[in-house]
Amino acid sequence: MKISILGTGYVGAVTGACFAELGNDVVFVDIDPAKLDMIRTGRSPIFEPGLDELLAKNLHRISATTDTALAIRETEATFICVGTPSNPDGSIDLQYIAAASEAIGEVLREKESWHTVVMKSTVVSGTTTGIVRRRLEEASGKEAFRDFGLASNPEFLREGSALTDVFSPDRIVMGVEDPRSREVLETLYATFTCPKLVTAIPVAEMIKYVSNAFLATKISFANEIGNLCKTMGIDTAEVFAGVGLDARINPAFFRSGIGFGGSCFPKDVRALIAQAGAAGLPPKILQSVVAVNEEQPLRLVALLKKHLPDLKGKRIGVLGLAFKPDTDDIRESRAIPIIGELRKEGAGVIAYDPLAIAHFRSLFPEITYASSAAEVLECDAVLIITEWKEFEALDYTGKLVIDGRRVPKAAVGSIYEGVCW
Ligand code: UGA
């Protein structure tokens, strides 16, 4: 099949490369020519293990252009993968989605053959059949589901393991209203053997939000219980290993620590809260999920102050800046509030991360960045914020270590505190 991908950010780059690997011809569209140049030479515009190799391997099936009209004319389906930033009130900003829909609609006005528009970006339920449909119809002068197809196909990929998540998914969700769009998605995913759920479009959109909100809830729950376990001298991880053995509960996403970051959980939970609030149903559980997540990173600093009550002038080492290992992404990283608090307390910060220093420097140009993890261990105390594998190989003997992510080696021979253990 011939597919166009609007937006070559995280979701677009991964989705396009994976569809190419499945044998489809893929046209990437972006307003940024630099990203397109990278794709044309088989390099990913974002960091994701294995993605460069996948693009390079499938270059013969891949093209890249800034010309949206050309891409839509030459393909049968378009996946909208543009960004959905947050508004100050937590709701999502749909300006890029609206602009993309309008641009597609203008091309559909002249296009005679059938075209299916698929929403891949994460949007609150009602967006695709609401603003997207409206903009497409206004710009094209045509009717959705009759003159062109419209569908929702949310992604469930994690940064750092996105390719495995795409090729070995737990499920594929297809939100469709018309048989031709359904056929397009079923053809694209024909080789997958996982459960495939065909739903109405708003249901598909809701499945995505509720999945992320539930996983975020599991993490905040694990952290709240973890804080209690810590005061009782109980090992939280052992508790959740036992709890997770109940098949109704499942052990995943119960790792307690300093909370969830990234471009998805914090934003998606806030967007769902905003949507529920607008419906007159402010969600108490989700509000608490956010509240726990905001307090949790500061507990690391509170634990540090138990050992070093006055941080003024102290040199505090920070291991890890990315929101999780195997990514250079620092969006909503727990390192941000923690380093902010250390600075407020007057501490000098020396930080190291294998991939994320360049991004972090733009947020905190005034702190010192080490060129190796070992250098950080020279400080008065060390905080572990991201559980990079290489931090397992360090010698923490004699150091004061406050661990936010449970790196077992850090407890060996050190003065050690875990945030929830
Ligand atoms: C998340 C979801 O896991 C994906 O299924 C979803 O497709 C994606 O958002 C999205 O909406 O696009 P991602 O943000 O890449 O993926 O990262 P996760 O691996 O889910 O981790 C998110 C945060 O939760 C990280 O800061 C991680 O350290 C934290 N976490 C995760 C915990 O604190 N405890 C856990 O048990 C698991």
How far apart CA 313 and CA 336 sit, in angstroms, is: 20
User: What confidence tens digit (pLDDT) does each residue in 326-374 have?
Assistant: 999 999 999 999 999 999 999 999 999 999 999 999 999 999 999 999 9
Work out which ligand 1 atom sits closest to the CA atom of 208: 11
φ, ψ of residue 387 to 5 degrees: the values are: -90, 60
- The alpha carbon of 18 and the centre of ligand 1 are apart by a number of angstroms equal to 20
What does the pLDDT read at residue 182?
98
Ligand 1 probe mutation, 122, 155, 214, 215, most atoms within 8 A of CB: 215
- Nearest CA, atom 24, ligand 1: 260
Opening angle at CA 256, ends 168 and 317, nearest 5: 105
Atom 5 of ligand 1: nearest residue by CA position: 156
Give pLDDT tens digits for 269-286: 999 999 999 999 999 999
Instruction: Say which CATH class 209-295 falls into.
Output: mainly alpha
- Name every protein residue with a CB atom under 6 angstroms from any ligand 1 atom: 122, 155-159, 212, 215, 219, 253-255, 257, 259-262, 264-265, 323-324
- Looking from the CA of 78 toward its CB, the CA atoms found within 13 Å total 29
- What share of the chain in percent tops pLDDT 90? 100
Number of alpha carbons in the 13 Å side-chain half-sphere of residue 315? 12
Question: What tokens does 136 get?
Answer: 């497409």
> Would you list the domain boundaries of the chain?
2-199, 209-295, 298-418
Are 2-199 and 209-295 in the same CATH fold? Answer: no
What pLDDT does residue 96 have?
Answer: 97
The per-residue pLDDT for 224 is: 98
- What's the pLDDT at 16? 98
322 C-alpha vs ligand 1 centroid, how far in Å?
12
* pLDDT of the residue at 402: 98
Residue bearing the CA closest to ligand 1, atom 6 = 156
The catalytic residues are 264
For the chain, what is the mean pLDDT?
A: 97
Asked if residue 322 lies in contact with residue 384, where contact means CB atoms within 8 angstroms, the answer is no
- 3-class state of residue 226 by DSSP: helix
**Angle CA(12)–CA(286)–CA(225) in degrees, nearest 5?**
110
* CA of 332, closest atom in ligand 1: 26
Q: Which amino acid is at 235?
A: D
pLDDT at 156 (0 to 100): 96
User: Which residue from 224, 260, 327 has its CB within 8 A of the most atoms of ligand 1, so it is best to mutate?
Assistant: 260
Q: Which atom of ligand 1 is nearest to the CA of 218?
A: 36
Radius of gyration of the chain (CA): 23
Instruction: Name the pLDDT band for 18 (thresholds 50, 70, 90).
Output: very high
Q: How confident is the model at residue 404 (pLDDT cuts 50, 70, 90)?
A: very high
**E strand intervals along 122-272:** 149-152, 172-176, 196-199
Q: If you measure from the C-alpha of residue 158 to the centroid of ligand 1, how many angstroms do you get, rounded to a whole number? A: 6
Q: Write b or e for each residue in 29-46: b if 16 or more Cβ atoms lie within 10 A of its Cβ, otherwise e.
A: bbeeeebbebbeebebbb
Confidence (pLDDT) at 284: 98
Q: What is the pLDDT of residue 8?
A: 97
Q: Which of 120, 152, 158 to mutate to test the pocket of ligand 1 (most atoms within 8 A of CB)?
A: 158
pLDDT digits (tens, 9 = 90+) for 208-264: 999 999 999 999 999 999 999 999 999 999 999 999 999 999 999 999 999 999 999
CATH number for the segment(s) 2-199: 3.40.50.720
> Could you report the per-residue pLDDT of 108-157, keeping only the tens digit for each?
999 999 999 999 999 999 999 999 999 999 999 999 999 999 999 999 99
Which tens digit of pLDDT belongs to each residue from 160-179?
Answer: 999 999 999 999 999 999 99
Question: DSSP per residue over 6-41, as a string?
Answer: E--SHHHHHHHHHHHHTT-EEEEE-S-HHHHHHHHT
Cα(404)–Cα(120) distance, integer angstroms: 33
User: For 298-418, which CATH class?
Assistant: alpha beta
Cα of 141 from ligand 1 centre, angstroms: 40
Tell me what pLDDT residue 232 has.
97
- Tens-place pLDDT, residues 369-388: 999 999 999 999 999 999 99
